[in-house]
Amino acid sequence: MEAKEKVILTGDRPTGRLHIGHYVGSLRRRVELQNSGLYDKIFIFEADAQALTDNIENPEKVRQNVIEVALDYLAAGLDPAKSTLFIQSQIPELCELSFYFMDLVSVSRLQRNPTVKTEIQMRGFGGESIPVGFFTYPISQAADITLFKATTVPVGEDQEPMLEQCREIVRRFNHIYGDTLVEPNILLPDNAACLRLPGTDGKAKMSKSLGNCIYLSDTADEVTKKVKGMYTDPTHLQVSDPGHLEGNTVFTYLDAFCQDAQVNAMFPEYETLQDMKDHYTRGGLGDMKCKKLLTSVLQDTLEPMRLRRAEFEKDIPAVYEILRKGCEKARETAVQTMDEVRRAMKINYFDDAALIAEQSARFTK
């Protein structure tokens, strides 16, 4: 049997600039996957249509962030020569496939999707006030994935229910219409600290509204200042006090970003990050010193991104052109999959010579 193509697909809602949580949670891995050479095709897209499902009255926000996220992608090292970067709304085949998928999913199944369920609870009224577009976005997300025959979807754990629902749709489709679509696998981040990076204030999640994010596009000064103000261990009042690592944001970030060699280069008295942690828990190691290391480690990661971003910012029309070309390329695959879908669903009337011959024989008998 012919080996199946290995296809990566993933995306982000363009509702804000990307921060270091996005970087350790997904972006860093995508760049590694891209450069591994192990995949036949890589699709990375901006889910602007999905972003609009809960920013209905805020189209300008989505529009502004499409270019911000594109710059973040390019700055992080996604390479348009290796990865197809595109924008969801520019692929009309996604609407077409979603429309057919709607026949394969029940209202009660959507109501059981944890993401949709939370939203319904938040809005009250038993969910009647939820926009249909939001309600059905797990279906359109299944179209995002299957239209490109993705085999591997690198996303955070919060997307697990979406992937499960997608696999169900694929199984149902293939069962009814014959083997056409591909069941995707989720690829979760591999480092526990990366699953969800807390905000600089120690709150569970980085979010723009809480003002606790470090953005990929922050200047060196902004990063230094944010690290200085970071949440550590509130019981660690004096340097000599024993410190706690649990819930200590500085150490969570160090786990996500820092290599032992970087610890040793700055503080030769430690071989590894673990040595430094041991010192901290014993007492005698101040927060300032830990923050100094973290600042340096973050700058090492972010500085090359700043430089790349600055280059791309000089020619914004060229960035739009990268996206436009990406959309064109993505559509080549989209059109092909839709041909197969229409054939499987028996709605390919005009390119089926056998059908026309058969019908004409029936009527001219």
Q: Which stretch binds ligand TRP (CB under 6 A): 3-11, 187-195, 257-265, 340-348?
A: 3-11
Closer Cβ to ligand TRP, 11 or 21, answer by number: 11
Which long-range CB contacts under 8 A does 135-138 form with residues at least 24 apart?
Answer: 135/110, 136/98, 136/102, 136/105, 136/110, 137/50, 137/53, 138/105, 138/110, 138/113, 138/162, 138/165, 138/166
The three-point CA angle 209-132-139 to 5° equals: 90
- Of 7, 11, 52, 334, the residue at the interface with ligand TRP (CB under 6 A) is 11
Instruction: Show the tokens assigned to 318.
Output: 């060229």
Q: How far is the CB of 246 from ligand TRP (least distance, A)?
A: 28
From CA 333, how far away is CA 318, in angstroms rounded?
23
Phi, psi of 336 (to 5 degrees): -65, -45
141 makes contact with ligand TRP (CB under 6 A): yes
DSSP label at 191? Answer: S
Instruction: Show the tokens assigned to 36.
Output: 């591994």
Instruction: Show the tokens assigned to 264.
Output: 């040793």
Q: Which stretch binds ligand TRP (CB under 6 A): 140-148, 174-182, 204-212, 308-316?
A: 140-148
98 makes contact with ligand TRP (CB under 6 A): no
- Torsion, Cα of 92, 93, 99, 101 (10° steps): -150
Closer Cβ to ligand TRP, 137 or 251, answer by number: 137
42 makes contact with ligand TRP (CB under 6 A): no
Instruction: Show the tokens assigned to 46.
Output: 């901006």
- Torsion, Cα of 157, 161, 164, 168 (10° steps): -170
Which residue number is nearest to ligand TRP in terms of Cβ?
47
For ligand TRP, the binding residues in 254-293 under the rule CB under 6 A are none
Q: Which stretch binds ligand TRP (CB under 6 A): 35-43, 137-145, 206-214, 317-325?
A: 137-145
- Of 10, 90, 217, 301, the residue at the interface with ligand TRP (CB under 6 A) is 10
- Of 144, 198, 249, 290, the residue at the interface with ligand TRP (CB under 6 A) is 144
DSSP 96-121: HHHHHHGGG--HHHHHHSHHHHHHHH
From CA 71, how far away is CA 77, in angstroms rounded?
10
Q: Which stretch binds ligand TRP (CB under 6 A): 65-73, 138-146, 232-240, 292-300?
A: 138-146
Say how many residues touch ligand TRP, by CB under 6 A. 13
For ligand TRP, the binding residues in 46-65 under the rule CB under 6 A are 47, 50
For ligand TRP, the binding residues in 152-171 under the rule CB under 6 A are 153, 155, 159
Phi, psi of 4 (to 5 degrees): -70, 140
Q: Which stretch binds ligand TRP (CB under 6 A): 141-149, 225-233, 236-244, 283-291?
A: 141-149
Close Cβ partners of 240 (under 8 Å, ≥ 6 residues apart) = 283, 284
- Of 76, 87, 130, 145, the residue at the interface with ligand TRP (CB under 6 A) is 145
Binding site for ligand TRP (CB under 6 A): 9-13, 47, 50, 141, 144-145, 153, 155, 159
